[in-house]
């Protein structure tokens, strides 16, 4: 599916917007942080759902606000 990034930009700097997205690939979660200090968690139920959200995120969000959580490994 193709996404148009322009459809997701704020109209005014007074609008709330994303400042950081942390992608946790192991937990299949996205942590969203906004310009007004709010945070949300998107918990994906399946790999397909996770990949769909990840593709949307990469398509419409500037790379500089996306971060990836370090994978959890056994020591």
Q: How many helices (H) and strands (E) does the chain have?
A: 1, 4
Over the Cα atoms of the chain, what is R_g? 13
Is 73 or 45 the better-scoring residue by pLDDT?
45
pLDDT of residue 4: 66
* Mean pLDDT of all residues belonging to the chain: 87
What are the distances in angstroms from CA 24 to CA 3, 4, 35, 43, 54? 22, 24, 21, 10, 10
pLDDT tens digits along 49-66: 999 999 999 999 999 999
pTM score of the predicted model: 0.80
pLDDT tens digits along 28-42: 999 999 999 999 999
Q: How many Cβ atoms are within 10 Å of 44's Cβ, its own excluded? A: 17
């Amino acid at each position: 599916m193709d996404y148009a990034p322009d459809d997701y930009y704020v109209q005014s700097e007074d609008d709330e917007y994303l400042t950081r997205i942390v992608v946790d690939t192991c937990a299949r979660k996205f942590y969203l942080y906004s310009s007004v200090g709010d945070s949300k968690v998107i918990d994906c139920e399946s790999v397909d759902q996770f990949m769909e959200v990840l593709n949307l995120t990469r398509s419409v969000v500037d790379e500089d606000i996306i971060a990836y959580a370090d994978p959890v490994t056994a020591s």
